[in-house]
Structure 1
Amino acid sequence: MPTTLLVPADPLRPRRPDEHFAPEADAAREAGLDVAVVDHDALTTPDGARRAVARVQEGDRQAVYRGWMLRAGRYAAFAEALRDRGVTLRTSAAQYRQAHELPGWYAALAEVTPPTVWTTGDGREAFERAASDLGTGRAVLRDYTKSMKHHWHEAAFIPDLADTSAAWAVAQRFRELRDDEFTGGFVLRRFEELSKAEVRTWWVGGVCTLVGPHPDTPHDPPPNLDLAAVAPLVAALGLPFVTVDLALRADGVWRVIELGDGQVSDRPGTVDPETFVAAVL
């Protein structure tokens, strides 16, 4: 079955790929793949999925999306609109949610990632109950899909969960900053000291096909990586296309910081698009 790469359209030139994804689109065409653009703005609206995929050619084909993050419900509508055109996303709506939202993958990777608890919703009572379950000490706050690590001291890092008022103040600031993008509930993760920058790994069909720097530190070459403990756990998830971000803990143990859907994970600019496309498509 032929594969089509789907990328967001440039908002000002809707027949062309968004400039952020244009290098990948060019590399895919050079590799002989079909490329089509979708209207990301339409995808984010309740009834816009069919309009968003209007430029995707109809026909029996598989597609891989490389674009901006979508809520799980919007991705499901996207997948349905494509199915109506005979196009099947390699990653199903259920698989996307499992990879994109932390509760979907945490249990499978619990032994190689910091201890974690979460709430449903943004209420204080549920937050304090979850904090109590995690215990005292340092923690990092996020929601099901994203942290606010660039607002570290005001909306991400909690120095001591025992100080419930201070912890809740961080949660309130996080909720304020996430605004309409807040997803699922609060997630509290035990803080662990890391000795090096994160590494982003790319997995297709449960196999690691590419190792590179994290987008936040694109010029830091990844160190020698030991995936022995992680690889079988990622493979057992049965997900078609994911990223796994890892970092070396201060005691020399590799830890999973994040698993994400590969379609909406950013490619560091220092990973050339030709290498990337060959590895993941």
Structure 2
Amino acid sequence: MLLVPGDPSEPRRVDPHFAAEADAARALGVPVAVVDHTAREHPEDMVAAVPAGDDAVYRGWPMTIAEYATFAKVLDARRVTLRTSPDDYRLAQDRTRWPKALRAVVVDSADGPLLRTWWIGGRCLQLSAGIDLVEIEPVITDLALPFVTADLVRRADGAWRIAALTDGQISAWPVSRDPADLLAGLF
């Protein structure tokens, strides 16, 4: 199941920012449920429209680590399991918890243009031709996270380095790309 935020002015409707992804999921036969972000202070109300008993991927607005843990807990009470556990979300969001091998390929500042890459189950979803991820791929694979994005930058010597890594659930999918590519990879 795909979980997407509701429109703030009409919380039972899909937020327009995520409507194309919701439509792509439905076209693939993936159930879609709306999460009411206006009810964040009442987590049970936030997930009231989510049907019970399914595995789920969230695609929506960022949450703090604590908010995500609460979100997962109230979904679990409905027998809905997020594919990205609270521990996985924490690891993707908290750079201090990254293993040494990952920190070795991360740059502190990026001077050049960034290339966003999408990783599902440790595999890059789509990659432009000519990009060599020989040092990056094993490190991201070893993280064993279900869904992340890595923003890459090319050093002067041609090596690619990670400028940022975050949970893929909260990374904006480019409007220039077909959301069905992302949803097909996830489901």
- TM-score for both structures, normalised by structure 2: 0.94
How far apart are residue 224 of structure 1 and its match?
A: 2.4
Residues 147-173 of structure 1 show CA distances to partners (whole Å, capped at 9, x for unaligned) of xxxxxxxxxxxxxxxxxxxxxxxxxxx
Distance 1:54 1:108 in 2: 41
How far apart are residue 210 of structure 1 and its match?
A: 2.5
SS of 2:7's partner is coil
Residue pair 2:154, 2:161 contacting (<8 A) in 1 also = yes
2:76 equivalent in structure 1: 83
Distance 2:44 2:140 in 1: 33
> Structure 2 stretches of 5 or more lacking a match?
none
2:158 is the counterpart of 1:255 = no
1:234 equivalent in structure 2: 140
Q: Which amino acid aligns with 1:244?
A: A
Query: Which aligned segments of 4 or more residues in structure 1 are displaced greater than 6 angstroms?
Result: none
2:87 is the counterpart of 1:94 = yes
Distance 1:68 1:193 in 2: 27
Q: Which amino acid aligns with 1:201?
A: T
- Structure 1 residues 225 and 85, CA gap change in structure 2 (3 angstroms): same
- Cα RMSD between the aligned structures? 1.5
Distance 1:106 1:256 in 2: 14
Larger radius of gyration: 1
2:56 is the counterpart of 1:63 = yes
How far apart are residue 111 of structure 1 and its match?
A: 1.9
1:158 equivalent in structure 2: none
2:163 is the counterpart of 1:270 = no
2:119 equivalent in structure 1: 203
> Structure 1 stretches of 5 or more lacking a match?
115-188, 212-221
Residues 117-170 of structure 1 show CA distances to partners (whole Å, capped at 9, x for unaligned) of xxxxxxxxxxxxxxxxxxxxxxxxxxxxxxxxxxxxxxxxxxxxxxxxxxxxxx
1:137 equivalent in structure 2: none
2:65 is the counterpart of 1:72 = yes
1:15 equivalent in structure 2: 12
User: Paired residue for 1:50, among 34, 44, 66?
Assistant: 44
SS of 1:226's partner is coil
Distance 1:39 1:210 in 2: 31
Distance 1:57 1:192 in 2: 43
Distance 1:78 1:264 in 2: 14
2:25 equivalent in structure 1: 28
Residue pair 1:9, 1:40 contacting (<8 A) in 2 also = yes
SS of 1:232's partner is helix
* Identical-pair percentage: 48
Distance 1:275 1:69 in 2: 22
Residue pair 2:93, 2:167 contacting (<8 A) in 1 also = yes
Distance 2:159 2:126 in 1: 21
Residue pair 2:116, 2:149 contacting (<8 A) in 1 also = yes
Q: Which amino acid aligns with 1:107?
A: K
How far apart are residue 82 of structure 1 and its match?
A: 0.3
Distance 1:205 1:254 in 2: 20
